[in-house]
C-alpha cells in the first residue's frame, strides 16, 4: 500500500490516468491526481501568467492540505519539471520520486532549455499562430495510440500555458533528494528528448534506471505493464 501523488504531463490532466485508477485501488494504494491550473477540468482558470511555479504549487497544496506523508511522487513528461519543484518545496513529505519518461531539470533550467532551440522555436511559433500567444497548441499523441484512445483523449487535451515551458526552475532546498527512479519508454524512437535523462539516471548517484516497452504515454497505451513496474519500484 502506498500514497501516490501524480504530477501529470503537459496538455493533459487527471482524466488521462483513468485506466490507472482501478489498478491502484486494487493494489490498496491511495492515488491523488491534482489537475494543474488552466488544464482539464480547471481550464476555466486559464490565464497568460500561469507558469511552472503555479503548477508546482498546485501539487504542493494537495500535499499540505491533505497532510500527505511518505509520498511516492510520479512525474510524467512535463510533470518531471513539476515534481522536481515539489520535492524542493516539500522534501519532508516525499519518500521517493518516479520520473516516468519525464524531464529531470537541474537548477536554473527550463523545459525549453532541455528540448533544444529547434523544438523551442516550433512551439513558440505555434503559440503565436494560435490564440493570443500565451499558450502552446495541443501536441499530438504517440503514433501507436489506438483510435479509441485517440478519440477519448484528444478532445480533452488543452493548450499548455507558454510560461510553464519558459520559466527556469529555482531549487533552494539544501536537503538531500529522496531516492529517484527513472522509467524510460523504449518505443519513443530516435531523437527522443527523454533519452538524455535516462542516461543521466544510469550514471548519476541517487538514481535507479528502468525501461518500459511502451511509447510516451504508458498510462494510456500499456496500463497493466506500467502498474507492474510501478509496483516493483514502490516495493524496492
Calpha distance 165→233 (Å, rounded): 29
Calpha distance 77→69 (Å, rounded): 24
Nearest to 40 by CA among 11, 20, 17: 11
Nearest to 12 by CA among 146, 131, 164: 164
Which residues are known to be catalytic?
77
User: What are 30's strand-pairing partners?
Assistant: 3
H helices present in the chain, as ranges: 21-26, 52-65, 79-89, 111-115, 117-129, 147-153, 162-166, 195-203, 218-221, 223-235
Maximal C-alpha separation, the chain: 47
Chain position carrying cell 503565436: 128
Span between the terminal Cα atoms of the chain, in Å: 13
74 burial class (0-12, 13-18, 19+ CB within 10 angstroms)?
A: buried
Calpha distance 228→98 (Å, rounded): 14
Amino acid at each position: 500500500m502506498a500514497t501516490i501523488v501524480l504530477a501529470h504531463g503537459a496538455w493533459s490532466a487527471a482524466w488521462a490516468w483513468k485506466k490507472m485508477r482501478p489498478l491502484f485501488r486494487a493494489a490498496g494504494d491511495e492515488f491523488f491526481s491534482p489537475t494543474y491550473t488552466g488544464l482539464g477540468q480547471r481550464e476555466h482558470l486559464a490565464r497568460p501568467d500561469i507558469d511552472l511555479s503555479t503548477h508546482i504549487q498546485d501539487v504542493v497544496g494537495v500535499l499540505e492540505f491533505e497532510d500527505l506523508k511518505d509520498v511516492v511522487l510520479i512525474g510524467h513528461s512535463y510533470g518531471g519539471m513539476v515534481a522536481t519543484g515539489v520535492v524542493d518545496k516539500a522534501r519532508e513529505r516525499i519518500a521517493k520520486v518516479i520520473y516516468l519518461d519525464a524531464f529531470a531539470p537541474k537548477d536554473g533550467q527550463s523545459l525549453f532549455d532541455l528540448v533544444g532551440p529547434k523544438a523551442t522555436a516550433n512551439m513558440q511559433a505555434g503559440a503565436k499562430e494560435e490564440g493570443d500567444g500565451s499558450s502552446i497548441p495541443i501536441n499530438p499523441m504517440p503514433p501507436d495510440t489506438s483510435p479509441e484512445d485517440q478519440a477519448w483523449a484528444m478532445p480533452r487535451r488543452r493548450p499548455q500555458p507558454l510560461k510553464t515551458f519558459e520559466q527556469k526552475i529555482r531549487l533552494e532546498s539544501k536537503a538531500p533528494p529522496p531516492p529517484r527512479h527513472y522509467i524510460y519508454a523504449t518505443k519513443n524512437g530516435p531523437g527522443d528528448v527523454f533519452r538524455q535523462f535516462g542516461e543521466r539516471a544510469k550514471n548519476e548517484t541517487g538514481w535507479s534506471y528502468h525501461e518500459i516497452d511502451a511509447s510516451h504515454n504508458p498510462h494510456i497505451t500499456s496500463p497493466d505493464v506500467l502498474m507492474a513496474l510501478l509496483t516493483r519500484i514502490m516495493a524496492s
